[in-house]
Structure 1
Amino acid sequence: MAKARGTVRPIRFLGDPGLRTACDPVRTFDAALDRLIDDMFASMYAAEGAGLAANQIGTALRVFVYDCADDRGRRHVGHVVNPTLELADGDLLTEPEGCLSVPRLRFPTPRFAHAVVSGVDRRGKTVRVEGTGYFARCLQHECGHLDGGVYIDTLSGDARRDAMRAIRAARA
């Protein structure tokens, strides 16, 4: 993983109410937003993650960062401010997924093979990010965080019961 400028902040874990609250839109594009994005990259790399939403480090703003590969092995690095998941389509793939806020656990999670996110960058310039494979999974995962969700919310039936059991056991 790369090293980023910025300060490493502690990751919030499942059970923290900030993870279950929808984030507010960014309205001010200034040095504080630059610091937040730099801190998010530093925190993500320190935790060896592929993506990180602002509420995972205790800031309730609609921002996420990412550094992950797509299904062709191409690396994507960037950030999106005020993202909207515009499209999630293609095959529904159930693959192991993890989360920095649910450490050391991975569960088979259904996600679409293709995703498109629109938003702006740290300067307010429009961005559109399109991903396939693991990168599409990352985009869907991070947008879910900003809406107050955690990836285990997408699980159902036996998979959800198994995940909840594993999470309770990990806390004990």
Structure 2
Amino acid sequence: MKIFIASLAATAAITFTLAPASAFAHGNEDHAGKPPAAAKKEQKDWGIAGDAKSVTRTVTLSMSDAMRFTPDKLAFKQGETVRFVIRNQGKLLHELVIGTKPDLDAHAAMMVKFPGMEHDEPYMAHVPASKSGELVWTFNRAGEFDFACLIAGHYQAGMVGKITVTR
């Protein structure tokens, strides 16, 4: 794992050196002004990007500056396509990132090293202060998964939750 993280850090360092600075800006800016990108249909251990027309359930999550999600435990059936409505009730930028614990751990470590890193995947949503965002995801694999806010310091403060997907 240490080799993987070191390799990931080296790759990121090279990427940051070669890429234009504006491509990685994250900070507290509002991503809501950008047109939505087409969701990448890449199978992950925890599912695949969902289509809005296939939503079978809507779940509302709140995020706060107390570094907590409400609710912080979710359960779905395999095959459900879920629309997450994410409400940021705080004064800081927060995000929702779905994944496995090892993936979230590695990504959180990168965010600490490169806090301005921009990341935009279909399994994550950045939500500015006092705003709402959405994410549509299909849980096509059973298992225990996690979600978190990976903004530097938020994950480390316990801004995490659990997802259980049953057959």
TM over 0.5: no
Q: Which has the higher helix share?
A: 1
